[in-house]
Structure 1
């Protein structure tokens, strides 16, 4: 039976970046549509302006599922599973200090993609805030950083379910 976890509410930075982007794009859209007759070039520009925003929204983290098969990162498009066999540990890490975003979104609808961290490492991030983070260490290299709404419950459930599914996980810790 899978256990579902909501993603945490947006932090202040995510709110500012997302709202600021909407205001900027809204202003651009208003200037295009209020200029009189809309031509093909105007429509093309609107797609260029709003298309990346829509794509980012589609790939933003929505939540997580924990099951015996692994941990599913839920997104509107492209949800994926971290297989239980690859999970070495799941732990609460609290506040994480991000470095540079290497790929994907740096605050628009959340934080997701590959990031450097201030401690010198890199991580695959699927989060909406940088405090109360959960780290999933895998056998495949870079850890995953998630921000479930209830991180303590997520860690407890993930460890219980994954240990039941894979008794040798404890031996790898």
Structure 2
């Protein structure tokens, strides 16, 4: 079953503003006649960072054949075997307050990458919103945060876990 992953308000605001700033960073040197040598160095970095964010950003989730699959925009899906799950916790936005992004995106196309919280520790996030999140613990110590739009129906697809 496929579960959509819609954006929350911060992502809806940050994503278009970031794209606008990126576009302006390409146009500004041509308009202003600024020293282009600096931009020869910065523009490839900007392109690489933007493409990395687009590639890793979560698109939707799927529960099928004993697996949770986290589909991303450009990369192969991340797979979590349901029988490897040792626990699941529904988190509120307040419980995620104070999270620290170690590496990843904190509102540009979602919240993804490595994050840490005092209570939950280090985890890989593949979320698009902070108000409907599911925290997944696996037997091998991995931790994931996801945000399917319909958390109740998503959890119903995981018999024996919740």
Structure 1 residues 8-157: aligned runs within 5 Å = 9-34=6-31, 45-75=42-72, 76-95=74-93, 96-98=95-97, 99-119=99-119, 121-157=121-157
Structure 1 residue ranges (4+ consecutive) displaced by more than 4 angstroms after TM superposition = 39-45
- Matched positions, count: 157
Shift of 1:32: 2.5
Q: When the two structures are superposed, what TM-score results if normalisation uses the length of structure 2?
A: 0.81
Shift of 1:78: 3.1
Alpha-carbon distance in structure 2 between the residues aligned to 1:68 and 1:89: 19
Gaps of 5+ in 1: 164-169
Q: When the two structures are superposed, what TM-score results if normalisation uses the length of structure 1?
A: 0.77
Shift of 1:147: 0.5
User: 1:94-139: per-residue Cα shift (whole Å, max 9, x none)?
Assistant: 3241411112222211011121125352322110111111122211
Alpha-carbon distance in structure 2 between the residues aligned to 1:33 and 1:45: 15
Alpha-carbon distance in structure 2 between the residues aligned to 1:33 and 1:82: 47
Contact 1:92 1:155 in 2 (8 A): no
